[in-house]
Structure 1
Amino acid sequence: MIIPQKQCVFAGFIFSRKVGFTMKKIFTSDYTLRDCAKRAEAVSFREKNNIAKCLDDLGVDAIELAPLNGSKEDAIIVRTISMAVKNAAVCIPVGFTTAEVDAAWECVKDAEKPILQVMVPTSTVQMEYTYHLKDDRMALKIAELVAYAKGKCNRVEFIASDASRADRSFLLKACTIAVDAGATAVALHDDAGIMAPKAFGAMAAEVKAAVGKVKVFVSPSDAIHMAAACALEALSAGADGVKTTITGEGTLNLAKFADTIRVLGGEVEGKWNLDHTGIHRAVAAFAPGGKGVVEAMVEEQQTLLLTAESTLGDIAKAVYSLGYDLSEEDTGKVYEEFKRVTAKRDSVSARELEAMVASSAMQVPSTYHLESYVCNSGNTIRSLASVTLTKDGAAIQGVSVGDGPIDASFRAIEQAMGHHYELDDFQIQAVTEGREALGAALVKLRSGGKLYSGNGLSTDIVAASIRAYINALNKIVYEEN
């Protein structure tokens, strides 16, 4: 049964539709993590991991990751995040070659709900400028990439970039070709930010009619502050879902869209089940100048206090409460670090526990392990250090003098390895206060023109520095192999 047509005025535009009693679900795909790659300030791995956890808890249907940058470290990060997400689908762009499809699939194949995204420009100017292809050759490429991705993954999304400037007939052709090749969803991106809501809704309606039951997502631009209006019109015209970000210039902001749905939800034929309060908290935490998702989560856990009697289960629960979803192996590493610290002190705070996670978990496989070290230092003698490492179960030892115990230890490690790496940067700082404060060390080594950073944590700053050096060293060895 259809009730009389309703009208709604939003941002100066009139939206109209016929409202039925059957409410379909409005799907949400968030690409905050993909947008992070464009941010001026660096976003750490821990922050990315917590953003993914935050979005998963909010109830978004899909979390979109950035394309792989070709490094082994990036592949490890993507693989770790994809395995940490439990409820939402995990999406990743596959690039423009079958080799890039293979690489992307290897990183997300263990996710609960993996999705491969074939993202190509559909406007003439972008097709020719970016890939030097005409319409007919791009159509063949779309079919090739989607079919190949479908052979790897059951769910493949075709993303029509710059759809607002595309020739409408080619846009419809590209979408239908993608669906015929196996795409299970289609997304329309207004990268140029040139569409008014009615025009955007009309585009969504045409594509939806062309692809039938396949889900259609829209990603409107907010360049002229109409992203929410465009999204609302597209949903009214038949689109199945929207693409949002927690923050990001010129995108559909998740909090603003939540407010739009809260106020005007009765004017959209669909039901949206995300947590409005949680959305605003996440946006406030990650906004530029804000505390950040990691800090906001940790701040809520300031009362957390673990003692030397805390069990592995206690540590696992505490780590999870901080927003981390670690594997059993990584949880075990954190627990070993915890026991090492509590052998010298009675308790560990939330901030200290998080520092342990950063130091012990989610690292590359270790080639070198610290077995022991001995330093002899004073104001009347040169510092002497003896460091014993293990590699493949065998012990190797180095002895060296230096300008202080830390310098001597670094030189001893180099002697044990038989290789010198340029020390690009070295920093130490206190993680907590007091005489038994934890010290954090950061070491940056340069190899082959690239920088490799490592961190270490201990109540003994020399030990923290040695661990940081070995952490950076293991990253070099891992990439070289």
Structure 2
Amino acid sequence: MKKVKISDVTLREDAGVGFLSFKEKVNLAKKLDRLGVDVIETAKITNAKTDILFLHTIAPLLEKSIISCPVELNEESVDRAYEALRGAKKFRLKLSAPVSSVQMEYLCGKKPDAMIELIKTLTEKCAALCCDVEFSALDATRSEPEFLYRAIKTAILAGAKTITVCDSAGEMLPSECGEFIEKLYENVPELKGVTLAAECGNNLDMGCACLVAGVSAGVGEIKTSADGKNQTSILCIARIFKSRGDFFGAYTGLNYTELEHTVSGMGFLKTQDFKNGKILEAEKGESFVLNDKDDINTVSLAVKKLGYDLSEEDIKNVYEEFVKVARKKQVTEKELEVIVASAALQTAPTYKLKSYTINSGNLINASCVMTLSKENEELQGITVGNGPIDAAFQCIEQIAGRKFELDDFQIQSVTEGKQALGVTVVKLRSSGKLYSGKGISTDIVESSINAYINALNKICFEEA
């Protein structure tokens, strides 16, 4: 039997709605890795500050999965994605290009010959930087067959190791999908030397059936999603392979035993609520809302659910701050995070920020020069990073002489307008415990630095 790789696109799909928080995305990536997902596809880099920081955060946490980052149709995007990923154990650069005449013309303004040349140039660029390159033919099922074959062959000869064909419309029948794959192999002999992947929309609720038909015809990698809304469900695919994989001679590396419980328990798949002042703790990860009727025990339970292990004194301090806010409005999970960061474990600072300078631009890597004071001694660090926040965080770690796991990173606007005041919350994990820090500034980089230093000072106090 042949192994079929599973490529999960949940993080990519979330980019369109931004429903998941930084922490939820990190936790999702870790869960997918433990479940045996072969490839985790992220969103393309649109925000250099947070997107690159997210990639840097998950890179050392993934043991088995390949991190796949989409690149846009320009060379600058390829360089940016490579720089963000090159520290990962296994990573892939993914180039997506429309191959139907309608999408080529209206989305890219390209004629067929120009698109072929662009595919060749960018695939070669990706292959020069990374040994694992994927070319994804968007709207492949509505493309002119001869042009599709030409585009795929061009990508393979330019260095692509995985070729994905997309039924973007999601209107294929299983028999049509199987026949479509067979014709690809007949007309593009070069496909036998690479992995052919398939991605099917689920408009007709037949995405899973189409993928199974594709596997029977020679597909070696399939795209799935944890939520199963617009894409084929990873749960549905897992059940099919577990029950009938032997029938069509294929298996996956998914951990079927844990998959059902883990995916069903992901907080963003469920309706979250509060009932009788108590948190519904059926599954980890669910969000919640508190109000002024909730007592200290309920708030303490919510704090523990966030991952904190606070002393009685810190819980009292958090509750006092919570009451002040709850008298005016309901308190969300993220707002409780800010309260914990500001009220719990307040200590005399070990490190203080004296100055920092950030150099950043679209043609250079971000760099940071920072000076911190510690016990009347000034310490300086100089680092280069992918984005100003990443460079700043690396600089703090260089000065402190140690690295921390970034568990969560939140930026929240407090006021509106061009000079809006923003609150940044940073959660660091050290020796299994969570420490949160808060920073406030009209400058996002400065508030992020202050939040990181605030969390670092709490770690230093606890471990002294």
Q: TM-score, normalised by structure 2?
A: 0.65
Distance 1:158-1:255 versus aligned 2 partners, 3 A rule = same
1:119 corresponds to which residue? 96
Alpha-carbon deviation of 1:226? 0.7
Contact kept, 8 Å, 2:423 with 2:447, in 1: the verdict is no
Query: In 2, Cα distance between the equivalents of 1:132 and 1:450?
Result: 38
Q: 1:282 aligned to 2:276?
A: no
Contact residue 116 and residue 153 of structure 1 kept, 8 A:
yes
1:266 is paired with a residue whose SS is coil
Query: Do the aligned residues in 2 keep the contact of 1:27 with 1:61 (CA within 8 Å)?
Result: yes
Name 2:155's counterpart in structure 1: 178
Q: How far did 1:389 drift?
A: 6.0
Question: Using the alignment, how far apart are the partners of 1:467 and 1:254 within structure 2?
Answer: 36
Which residue of structure 2 aligns with residue 229 of structure 1? 209
In structure 1, the residue matched to 2:13 is: 35
The total of aligned residue pairs comes to 343
Q: Compute the displacement of 1:223 (Å).
A: 0.4
C-alpha displacement of 1:296: 3.1
The Cα shift of 1:255 comes to 0.5
Query: Superposed, which structure 2 residues align to 1:369-408 within 5 Å?
Result: 390-391=354-355, 392-393=371-372
User: Could you say what secondary structure the match of 1:243 adopts?
Assistant: strand
Cα distance between partner residues in 1 of 2:104 and 2:174: 25
Tell me whether 1:130 sits opposite 2:110 in the alignment.
no
Contact 1:93 1:118 in 2 (8 A): yes
1:268-417 alignment runs, 5 A limit = 268-286=248-266, 288-290=269-271, 296-297=283-284, 342=311, 344=313, 390-391=354-355, 392-393=371-372
User: Are residue 200 (structure 1) and residue 177 (structure 2) matched?
Assistant: yes
Distance 1:64 1:295 in 2: 28
State the shift of 1:92 in Å. Answer: 0.6
- What is the deviation of 1:298? 6.0
Shift of 1:28: 0.6
User: Could you say which residue in structure 2 is the equivalent of 1:72?
Assistant: 49
Q: Give deviations 1:328-349, integer Å, cap 9, x for gaps.
A: xxxxxx9xxx7xx6595699xx
- Answer yes or no: is the 8 Å Cα contact 1:442–1:456 preserved in 2: no
Tell me the amino acid that sits aligned with residue 34 of structure 1: R
Percent of aligned pairs with the same amino acid:
27
> Which whole-Å CA distance do the structure 2 matches of 1:371 and 1:259 have between them?
55
Is the contact between residue 191 and residue 221 of structure 1 (CA under 8 Å) also seen in structure 2?
A: yes
Rg (Cα) greater in structure = 1
**Aligned residue in 2 for 1:241:** 221
CA gap of 1:274–1:394, structure 2 versus 1, over 3 A, is closer
Q: Deviations over 1:422-471 (max 9, x none)?
A: xxxxxxxxxxxxxxxxxx997635674667432389xxxxxxxx963447
Shift of 1:98: 0.3
Aligned to 1:146: 123
Equivalent of 1:167, from 124, 129, 144? Answer: 144
Q: Which structure exhibits the higher relative contact order, with contacts defined as CA atoms closer than 8 Å and separated by 6 or more residues?
A: 2
User: Residue type matched to 1:289 in 2?
Assistant: K
CA pair 139-370 structure 1, distance change in 2 beyond 3 A: farther
| CA shift in 2, pair 1:130/1:359, >3 Å | same
Between the aligned partners of 2:159 and 2:282, the Cα distance in structure 1 is 42
Q: Paired residue for 2:38?
A: 61
**Structure 1 length-normalised TM:** 0.63
Is this contact kept in 1: 2:199–2:211, CA < 8 A?
A: yes
Distance 1:472 1:110, change over 3 A: farther
